[in-house]
Homo-oligomer: A and B are copies of this chain.
């Protein structure tokens, strides 16, 4: 029998009961009276033969295929966001669900194709995710489906959204410096994340900046000096070099908020080149808590993007049927390492 699928008919033969009885027992149906003895014989036979349900058939009958679709632009192929999938997988696997992962690479035609493909396969529900937090317009075919939005903002779809609490994260980063006594001489590198793709800035940029400025304002401290640039290592390097050249002596910054860890890598390179040491000459705090933050010397204190929790929460909401159109903000904790020193 090697290679052939064990069917309910095989189980019925082995148990000496009808095919219908097997179907009712293994389908966990209670609308027909089955004796405890029969139930036990069926379960035993199924176990002995190694019977496994044909979920494709079950999906057709009950519309519960045990499958969740995760549609994303570039999550699976993005170095930093793999933990989103990790969280989603853990949550799905715990409940015996399999996760369909499909990527669109941000192309609307591919997205339409992929979403149709998932609906064709009758997934029980979908998580619609983006790599970075932004406003999106999902395909209309998703309307009315069990759906959770992950890391994106959607108008008028009536589904819950799970996003990182970037605004609170901005306050957290600022407070880490304020509590170390850095009430002036603080620079922010990165700003609102204005790029060709996000000419008005990115949502994370706006919320992080808002949180930072609020915290300094509430503390009655000097507002930090903000340098707007792309959030990449070379930009961090070039802009900090320029800052160090034009702010010497007493005007040298004493603390730096980098809007992400990539900027911090570039900033470290500029500081090392200038013979300045972290944290003795300059305290640094950052965002994302990517692996870079523990690889830098000295290791970098960084406010963590909660990738795992984002993925886990989205799938949990979906499986719990908790689909009210609410925005769930996931906390971003500070990972304290060795890059902040008290203001001397």
Chain A interface (Cβ < 8 Å from any Cβ of B): 2-3, 52-57, 59-60, 65-67, 76-80, 82-83, 85-86, 89, 93, 96, 98-103, 110, 113-114, 116-122, 144, 233, 237, 262, 265-266, 269, 272, 291, 295, 297
A77 vs B81: C-alpha distance when bound (angstroms): 8
Cβ contacts under 8 Å, A82 to chain B: 76-79, 82
B110 x A93 contact (CB < 8 A): yes
Cβ contacts under 8 Å, A122 to chain B: 54, 56
A98 vs B119: C-alpha distance when bound (angstroms): 11
A89-B102, A96-B117, A98-B100 given. 19 additional CB < 8 A pairs?
A: A3-B144, A52-B119, A53-B120, A55-B121, A56-B56, A56-B60, A56-B122, A65-B121, A76-B76, A76-B85, A76-B86, A77-B85, A77-B89, A79-B82, A86-B103, A93-B113, A93-B114, A98-B114, A98-B117
A100 x B100 contact (CB < 8 A): yes
A101 vs B101: C-alpha distance when bound (angstroms): 6
A56 x B121 contact (CB < 8 A): yes
Cβ contacts under 8 Å, A269 to chain B: 297
A86 vs B93: C-alpha distance when bound (angstroms): 23
Nearest residue, chain B, Cβ from A55: B120
A83 vs B74: C-alpha distance when bound (angstroms): 10
**Among B53, B59, B101, which residue has its beta carbon within 8 angstroms of that of A76?**
B101
A113 vs B121: C-alpha distance when bound (angstroms): 21
Name which of A60, A82, A122 has the most chain B CB atoms within 10 A of its CB: A82
A233 vs B297: C-alpha distance when bound (angstroms): 10
Nearest residue, chain B, Cβ from A299: B234
Sample (19) of A-B pairs whose CB atoms are under 8 Å apart: A3-B144, A55-B117, A56-B65, A65-B121, A67-B121, A76-B82, A76-B101, A77-B83, A77-B85, A79-B79, A79-B291, A89-B103, A98-B100, A98-B102, A100-B101, A101-B101, A237-B297, A266-B295, A269-B297
